[in-house]
Chain A
Amino acid sequence: MKPGWEMVIGLEVHCELKTATKLFCGCPNMFGDEPNTNVCPVCLGLPGSLPVLNQKAVELAMAIGTALDCEIRSSTFHRKNYFYPDQAKDYQISQYDEPINVNGHLDLPDGTQVGIERAHMEEDTGKTSHSGISGRIHGAAYSLVDYNRSGVPLVEIVSAPDMRSSAQARAYATELRAVLVASGASDGKMEEGSMRVDANVSVRRSSDDPFGTRCEIKNLNSVRSLGRAIEFEAERQIVLIESGERVVQQTRHWDEDAGRTVTLRSKEDAYDYRYFLEPDLVPLVPDAEWIGAVADTLGLMPAKRRSRLIELLEDAGGVTDAQVDQVATVVDLGLDELVIAAAAGGVASSLALTRTANEAATDADRARRLDPVSYTALLTMEAGGSLSATQAKAVLADLLVAGGGDPAAIAKAKGFEVMSEDSLTSVIADAVAAHPDEWARYCEGGEKGDKLAGFFTGLVMKATRGQANGKAVAAELHRLRA
């Protein structure tokens, strides 16, 4: 970002809900099927058809509201009127001035918080494909419409203009995706369009200034595109202002290949949507019991799950930056329950976190199914010195494949035994004797010399085929040098 300037960013995220059927009819909500096979009079907007609200969609919308700490309230549906071939009724049924979720917030991993103005329900449109290389309606010889997507339930999540950098916007999109997946509301697949992001971007010289004129950017198909588009757009606006021109409020299209935003339509061309209350639907009035039942089915959200681990580490004496990253990895992969279980079983939280983030994470699908009792027993053996780190990793690999088991039995079957102190001492002495130069440098100490501890540990591990306890080796090397 150019010094002396600040970005102001708000995001509108459309999320397709993971329901079995569409928002207002019984057609399957399925991505990728043969075009125009999941359709009926309702989602084709045939004359005489009427919408009936999908209860499951309402519950997923309330789950999103709960996950984002929104106020969930009585709501209504409106018609948003505009002509477009993929809009079966030539109006979209959407919540307007009385949305189901308002006034929430999303906590980001870096500790910042972004306000959620609203998260409302609406139906998706069909999907138009235009012939020709431009892929756009202008100049196309013909267009094809697939109405399979028509009527798929969406929740649109509108953030407050609280973000101040493209990195923060990317973090928001990433975290929101994790929340949508964790709440069971969506599969969060941006590449399949089940999560779509529009960005509102403006710039100003100081955080004390009022907001500048904003532009809305559409067609952001990945978190990476989101970051690039925001950077480009902010720069474009700054150049305009610094050259004495004004930013014109407009909707802009992100061209991924060209790496730039282009005008889609200006404010003067904006549609008059003629919103009015949808007369074919009745107000949606969820009672406290229903809202509570939905909240009860909801697991912990990523932010809460991260803070649980951070608290464990803090209780054990503090948290490093590397551990913050490990926590993010573990929560992102859904392995935090393993860490919690191991810590509850008496394993040091730092060891539990490291093994989970570094080893269990490499086979996360299996790790999510791993019996936490077996895992805790394994880490207890390692912490107690009866297994070396290398041995523990080998046993873990077997546990993951089997989904659990007795780590002691596996270790025994593998012939893992802790070396006696005498034999370890003798192996170390051999290594030292074979490499007098390295030993001398190690004994000199200092940053360079200390690094050679790793060299000797490696020799010992090789000689013992990993059966030596790394901590015991380090302790013996240290003793010999002293």
Chain B
Amino acid sequence: MKAPRPAGNLAASVRAGARSALEILEEHLAAIESGDGAVHAFNLVTADQARGEARAVDRVVEAGDDPGLLAGVPVALKDNLCTRGVPTTCSSRILEGWRPPYDATVVTRLRKAGAVMVGKTNMDEFAMGSSTETSAFGATRNPHDTNRVPGGSSGGSAAAVAAGFAPLALGSDTGGSIRQPAALCGVVGMKPTYGAVSRYGLVAFASSLDQIGPFATTVADAALLFDVIGGHDARDSTSLNRPTPRALSVLEDGVAGLTVGILSEFLDGAAPDVVARTHQAAEALTRAGARVEEVSVPEVRLGLSAYYLIAPGEASSNLARYDGVRYGLRVEAEDTAAMNIATRSAGFGPEVKRRIMLGTYVLSAGYMDAYYNQALRVRTKIIEGFAAAYRTCDVLLGPTAPTTAFALGAKTDDPLTMYLSDVCTIPSNLAGHPAISVPFGAGDDGLPVGVQLLGPALSESTLFKVAAVVEAAAPALAAPSLVAGGRS
């Protein structure tokens, strides 16, 4: 069976001269115009610039040349990806007025592939959150029910793809920030192996965990986007200098002979309807010829605790540069130190401040070994635990998020409950491994459920082909209604 690839088909039609990039863009701009008032997926729609890019693609086709794999495909960018001359805010007041003088490597690669950048999507401030509610510019709403959150932190990108504002989007995933909103919005989202995609131009949250990855409506389109953005980049020292897995070419190879482990620890805390969907996905894999068995990686239970020491620790350092001296917000005060404090007090929201304080504390003299270093030891244990599982399994299967999308405001007063949304996604970040969330029908509330496939480092090709089998077996999901309460 041929995996569906709507974005791939759009590019094919533009490359063949059957459709114009401008016409495709205008359709999507119209969808944004009519729908984004209810969703608020975008911080900024760069319509005029996008029209210029689309026309340029069309001229290339007219000249008989090939604009590339993503010719004329509109792509939405999370607002923590630097775009030359275009505001990049991380949904924070502290970056007010800042326009990067350079493009992120992934943006450069999208341009080279003929993609058209439609705008910058909303996110949790500095990617710190699981609901896109910590944005300084207001929450993004779930297109399936605008009273619900889209997940986060890449909620704007997930919602944009789910709502049909763009066929493709990029997000970043530090603890699940691509996969969890993908699951909650009913789209495909993938976090690559650490180092598979260059981080140059991604505004850092937690550098040892951050990875840029694709959102798409289908597995094949996500694979296409991954193929375009991946590969070594000399500007990122942690970029892997080895051939990137080519995801799209092996997509339809099937799962016969593969062993899939259902990760029991991920089922433990999940809602019954989510657990049921996960088992249903496992059955589909069995039918397709995979060997499915239950496995345990007890170390992943420690992931959440380790993550909330490591990520804030790195963030406290990464966010120090927002001091009012060189760019962004400055609140004047009597001397430099007072200006630093006034600027940071006014510019950061409460969740960012919480994590900076937490991170500063865990790195402090006298506490570092008990907290930060201990978390690093746990991280090593998690890597070892996964390694043991991958001696018998090719991939692991579990839910992406413990529940379907929750109501706006439901968890904003209780950070710990909010943090638990990422319990199934964090371990892959700590291990540096790839993982993908694939929509698999709806929960009891009719909202999307995502199942997650995890693999060892550089197993993207395997993940995508298993994901394609899951996708083919997925129960139908109602189209997003873009209204409160979902489809009536």
Which residues of A are at the interface with B, using a C-beta cutoff of 8 A?
Answer: 41, 44-53, 79, 81, 83, 85, 88-91, 137, 143, 145, 272, 274, 276, 279-282
Please provide the chain B residues from 189 to 221 with a CB less than 8 Å away from any CB of chain A in the complex. 199-204, 206-208
Complexed CA–CA distance, A79 and B372 (Å)? 14
- Cross-chain contact of A44 among B208, B326, B360 (Cβ < 8 A): B326
Contact between A50 and B321, CB atoms less than 8 A apart: no
| A50, B235: Cβ atoms closer than 8 Å | yes
Residue of B nearest to A270 (CB): B365
Q: Are B102 and A272 in contact (CB under 8 A)?
A: no
* Residue of B104, B200, B206, B321 with highest tally of chain A CB at under 10 A: B321
- Give chain B residues whose Cβ lies under 8 Å from the Cβ of A276: 313-314, 317, 363, 368, 372
* Contact in complex: A50, B199 (CB < 8 Å): yes
The 8 closest A-B pairs by CB, nearest first: A90-B320, A279-B208, A274-B363, A279-B207, A47-B203, A48-B201, A48-B82, A48-B203
Shortest Cβ distance from residue B400 to the other chain A in the assembled complex, whole angstroms: 25
B364 at the interface (CB under 8 A from A): yes
A53–B235 Cα gap in the complex (Å)? 10
In the complex with contacts A48-B104, A272-B364, A89-B321 CB distance below 8 A: yes
Alpha-carbon distance between A320 and B102 when the two chains are bound, in angstroms: 65
Chain A residues within 8 Å of B80, by CB = 48
Chain A contacts of B234 at CB under 8 A?
Answer: 52
The one of A41, A83, A91 that contacts B102, using a Cβ cutoff of 8 Å: A41
Q: Which of A48, A50, A79, A83 contacts B323 (CB 8 A)?
A: A83
Q: Which residue on A lies nearest to B376, using beta carbons?
A: A277
Say how far B171's CB is from chain A's closest CB, in angstroms: 15
Q: How far is the CA of A99 from the CA of B298 in the complex (A)?
A: 37
Set of chain A residues within 8 Å of B364, measured between Cβ atoms: 272, 274
Report B's interface with A, CB cutoff 8 A: 80-82, 88, 90, 95, 98, 100-102, 104, 199-204, 206-208, 234-238, 313-314, 316-317, 320-321, 323, 325-327, 336-337, 340, 360, 363-365, 368, 372
How close is B75's CB to chain A, nearest CB, in angstroms? 18
Q: Once the chains are docked, how many angstroms separate the CA of A79 from the CA of B321? A: 13
Known contacts A47-B82, A48-B88, A276-B317, then 18 further A-B pairs from the complex at CB < 8 Å, ordered by chain A residue: A41-B100, A44-B326, A47-B98, A47-B321, A49-B200, A50-B235, A52-B236, A81-B316, A81-B320, A85-B323, A88-B321, A90-B320, A91-B317, A274-B365, A274-B368, A279-B206, A280-B238, A282-B237
Q: Does B104 contact A85, Cβ atoms closer than 8 Å?
A: no
Chain A residues with Cβ below 8 Å from B98 are 47
Q: Smallest CB–CB gap between A139 and chain B, Å?
A: 9
Compute how far the CA of A137 lies from the CA of B321 in the bound complex, rounded to whole angstroms. 20
Question: A157–B368 Cα gap in the complex (Å)?
Answer: 27
Q: Which residues of A contact B101 (CB under 8 A)?
A: 41, 46
Give complex CA distance A47, B104 in Å.
10
Interface centre among A81, A280, A282 (most CB of B within 10 A): A280
- Closest partner residue, chain B, to A81 (CB atom): B317
* A/B interface sample: 29 pairs, CB < 8 A: A44-B326, A47-B98, A47-B204, A48-B80, A48-B104, A48-B203, A49-B200, A50-B235, A50-B237, A51-B237, A52-B234, A52-B237, A83-B340, A85-B323, A88-B321, A88-B326, A90-B321, A91-B317, A91-B320, A272-B365, A274-B365, A276-B363, A279-B207, A279-B238, A279-B314, A280-B204, A280-B207, A280-B237, A282-B237
In the assembled complex, the Cα of A85 lies from the Cα of B338 at a distance in Å of 12
Contacts of B316 in A (CB 8 A): 81, 274
Interface centre among B202, B237, B316, B364 (most CB of A within 10 A): B237
Task: Provide the residues of chain A in CB contact with B365, threshold 8 Å.
Answer: 272, 274
Known contacts A47-B88, A48-B100; decide if A53 and B363 are in contact (CB<8 Å).
Answer: no
Distance in angstroms between the alpha carbons of A282 and B195 in the assembled complex: 11
Chain A nearest Cβ from B331, distance in angstroms: 15
Q: Which residues of the other chain, B, contact A53 by a CB distance below 8 angstroms?
A: 237
Provide the residues of chain A in CB contact with B204, threshold 8 Å.
47-48, 280
- When chains A and B are docked, how far (Å) is the Cα of A53 from the Cα of B207? 17
CA A96 – CA B101 in complex, angstroms? Answer: 32
- B323 / chain A contacts, CB cutoff of 8 Å: 83, 85, 90
Who on chain B is nearest to A138 by CB? B335
Whether the pair B82, A85 counts as a contact (CB closer than 8 A) is no
Q: Given A83-B320, A91-B320, A274-B364, verify A46-B336 contact (CB < 8 Å).
A: no
How far, in whole Å, are A274 and B101 apart by their CA atoms in the complex?
Answer: 30
Chain A's closest residue to B365 (CB) is A272
CA distance A47 to B336 in the complex (A): 21
**Cα distance, A85 to B340, chains bound together (Å):** 9
Whether the Cβ atoms of A79 and B317 lie closer than 8 Å is yes
Across-interface contacts of B327 in A (CB, < 8 A):
46
Query: How far apart are the CA atoms of A143 and B337 in the complex, in Å?
Result: 13
Q: A41 to chain B: which residues have CB within 8 Å?
A: 100-102
Q: Chain A residue with minimal CB distance to B104?
A: A48
Which residues of the partner chain A approach B88 to less than 8 Å between Cβ atoms? 47-48
Quote the shortest CB–CB distance from B143 to chain A (angstroms): 28
CB distance from A468 to the nearest CB of B (A): 72
Least CB distance from B132 to A in Å reads 20
Contact A48 B202 (CB under 8 A): yes
Inter-chain contact B201/A45, CB cutoff 8 Å: no
Whether B100 contacts A46 by the Cβ 8 Å rule is: yes
Across the interface, which residues of A come within 8 angstroms of B368, CB to CB?
274, 276
Q: How far is the CA of A41 from the CA of B88 in the complex (A)?
A: 14
In the complex, which of the residues B199, B336, B360 contacts A85, with contact meaning CB atoms closer than 8 Å? B336
Task: Determine the chain A residues whose CB is within 8 A of the CB of B208 once the complex forms.
Answer: 279
In the assembly, what is the distance between CA of A332 and CA of B150, in Å? 71
Q: How far is the CA of A143 from the CA of B95 in the complex (A)?
A: 22
Task: Give bound CA distance, A94 to B304, whole Å.
Answer: 30
Q: Give A44 to B95 CA distance when docked, in angstroms.
A: 15
- How near does chain B come to A83, taking the closest CB pair, in angstroms? 6
Min distance, Cβ B214 to any Cβ of chain A, angstroms: 19
Q: Report the separation of the CA atoms of residues A274 and B207 in the bound assembly, to the nearest whole angstrom.
A: 16
Residue numbers in B under 8 Å from A81 (CB-CB): 316-317, 320, 363
Whether B317 contacts A274 by the Cβ 8 Å rule is yes
CB distance from A46 to the nearest CB of B (A): 7
Q: How far is the CA of A428 from the CA of B363 in the complex (A)?
A: 88
Question: What's the minimum C-beta distance from B236 to chain A, rounded to whole angstroms?
Answer: 5
Tell me, rounded to whole Å, the shortest Cβ–Cβ distance linking A324 to chain B.
Answer: 49
Hey, which chain A residues are within 8 Å of B102, CB to CB? 41, 46
Among B199, B200, B236, B340, max chain A CB count under 10 A is at B200
Of the listed residues B201, B206, B234, the one surrounded by the most CB atoms of chain A closer than 10 A to its CB is: B201
- Bound together, the chains give a CA A274 to CA B88 distance in angstroms of 29
Q: What's the nearest-Cβ distance from chain A to residue B99, in Å?
A: 11
Distance A279 CA – B321 CA, assembled complex (angstroms) = 16
CA distance A91 to B235 in the complex (A): 20
Contact, CB under 8 Å: A47 / B317: no
What separation, in Å, do the CA atoms of A440 and B405 have in the docked complex? 120
CA distance A50 to B237 in the complex (A): 8
User: Chain B residue with minimal CB distance to A276?
Assistant: B363
Q: How far is the CA of A91 from the CA of B104 in the complex (A)?
A: 22
